[in-house]
Amino acid sequence: KQDMHFGPEPGEEQRSTDGKRVSRDSDTRSVSLLEQKRKVVSSSIDVPHARRSEEEVDMDKVTAAMVLTSLSTSPLVRSPPVRVSEGLSGSWKDNGSAGPFTPSSNSSSGGYWSWSAPSDQSNPSTPSPPLSADSFKPFRVPSLGGVGPGPAGPEDPVLDEQDGSSLLFDEPIPRKRKNSMKVMFKCLWKNCGKVLSTAAGIQRHIRTIHLGRNCDSDCSDGEEDFYYTEIKLNTDSVADGLSSLSPASPSVLSPPPPPPSPLPSVSQLPDSHKPMQSSDIKEPHAGGTTPLSRSAPSALYLIHTDHAYQATAPVSIPSSSSNSASSASTSFTPTNSSSFSISWQSPPVTFTGTTVRNPGCTPTCVVGLHLSSSRKVRGEGKKCRKVYGMENRDMWCTACRWKKACQRFTD
């Protein structure tokens, strides 16, 4: 490609650029040298590429909506449905008696839920077994494997997620993608999950709705700041988030054959039906049922939920969902399921699944640690190579030239 230059060709300006100062040493290889030299050049060059920051500023509402949707849920991401509810609504505390692990409050803050970059892909059904007291030893039993049908079927052991480790891994990866990243602001007010795309917006929301101040924008004493948080997410992830939500999916199935009746669940006592034995962790095993679960419908489901959520803060969820949720949490008594509201709505949008991934670990051990992904998952945005192309290799940032992580277009 770029080899020609010098020859008889009169024209061939292109290379002239190099010529600019580097030299006249005629020989071919000079090219290579050139490359190295012109780090200078690179600096000047990249300018045009101003950060893509701006573009994100305005997004059309549609997207925004999408985002919202996912967001509202996101906080929950990390935690099993159960405690989430607690976090948001705080409502069901009283029932707590039943639940062994009520204490989980901490996570509730919602601060966590760090989502990690790699669009998880790993599929929502994270590995971790239900932390419930009655550990799952029973399941995994072959008997169930094949069985799909029974009431048990829908159970999804899946979602849970170990809480203990929850905050272990935050951003193992230094640089994150930033490509289609969108920053949103989420109201942290109890029972309110409002998410807006602008800080001003959220502040106003808080000021007026929660703090009850009518003065508009100006007289902010800054108090609002404490009630909202900034969250980032990239639109892409949202998309896949929807498509592959985990917890939701099981629920999808459940409605039809709801073993535990939807609403009436209250009457039902835990004892009535055995603890969900079915919890077969993730599908890898024979697990007949689950595989189906994840599929398009889930997305719809999610959205639906979300709307409900948005409509009013404390919406109660269609029990069906709650079922699944409760089941997931195992020890959790089905009874109260009805009681807690919104909370769980959404599944982990993105957060590294870890699970399968680490080599050393067997599925079981997965629970505890989230190793950062093996490698780095690969940055999302375009890097020097893509941007400038091979032919302009000299324009790449040094890191790219050395085949190291790009420094110019970090993500």
Judge whether 167 and 307 are in contact, CB under 8 Å. Answer: no
> Quick check: helix, strand or coil at residue 282?
coil
Q: Is 304 in the site for DNA (CB under 7 A)?
A: no
Q: Is 70 in the site for DNA (CB under 7 A)?
A: no
Q: Is 52 in the site for DNA (CB under 7 A)?
A: no
Pick the piece of the chain touching DNA (CB under 7 A) from 117-125, 145-153, 197-205, 319-327: 117-125
Q: How far is the CB of 311 from DNA (least distance, A)?
A: 35
Q: Is 15 in the site for DNA (CB under 7 A)?
A: no
What tokens were used for 346?
């959404």
Q: Is 49 in the site for DNA (CB under 7 A)?
A: no
Closest CA to 283 of 132, 138, 148, 81: 148
Give φ, ψ of 30 to 5 degrees.
-45, -35
Judge whether 322 and 72 are in contact, CB under 8 Å. Answer: no
Report d(CA 362, CA 373) in Å as an integer: 15
Q: Is 234 in the site for DNA (CB under 7 A)?
A: no
Q: Which residue has the tokens 């039993």?
A: 141
Half-sphere exposure (CA, 13 Å, Cβ side) for 141? 10
* Binds DNA by CB under 7 A, chosen from 357, 370, 372, 395: 357
In the DSSP assignment, the letter for residue 348 is -
* Binds DNA by CB under 7 A, chosen from 121, 243, 267, 295: 121
- Considering the complex, state which of residue 22 and residue 405 has its C-beta at the smaller distance from DNA: 405
Q: Is 386 in the site for DNA (CB under 7 A)?
A: yes
Q: Is 356 in the site for DNA (CB under 7 A)?
A: no
* Binds DNA by CB under 7 A, chosen from 23, 32, 109, 267: 32
Q: How far is the CB of 60 from DNA (least distance, A)?
A: 24
Pick the piece of the chain touching DNA (CB under 7 A) from 56-64, 234-242, 364-372, 374-382: 374-382
Query: Binding residues for DNA, how many (CB under 7 A)?
Result: 30
- Considering the complex, state which of residue 279 and residue 373 has its C-beta at the smaller distance from DNA: 373
* Binds DNA by CB under 7 A, chosen from 141, 200, 215, 390: 390
Judge whether 158 and 290 are in contact, CB under 8 Å. Answer: yes
HEC-encoded secondary structure of 77-129: HHCCHHHHHHHHHCHHHHHHHCCCCCCHHHHHHCCCCCCCCCCCCCCCCCCCC
Binding site for DNA (CB under 7 A): 32, 35-36, 39, 118-119, 121, 357, 373-379, 382-386, 390, 398, 400-406, 411
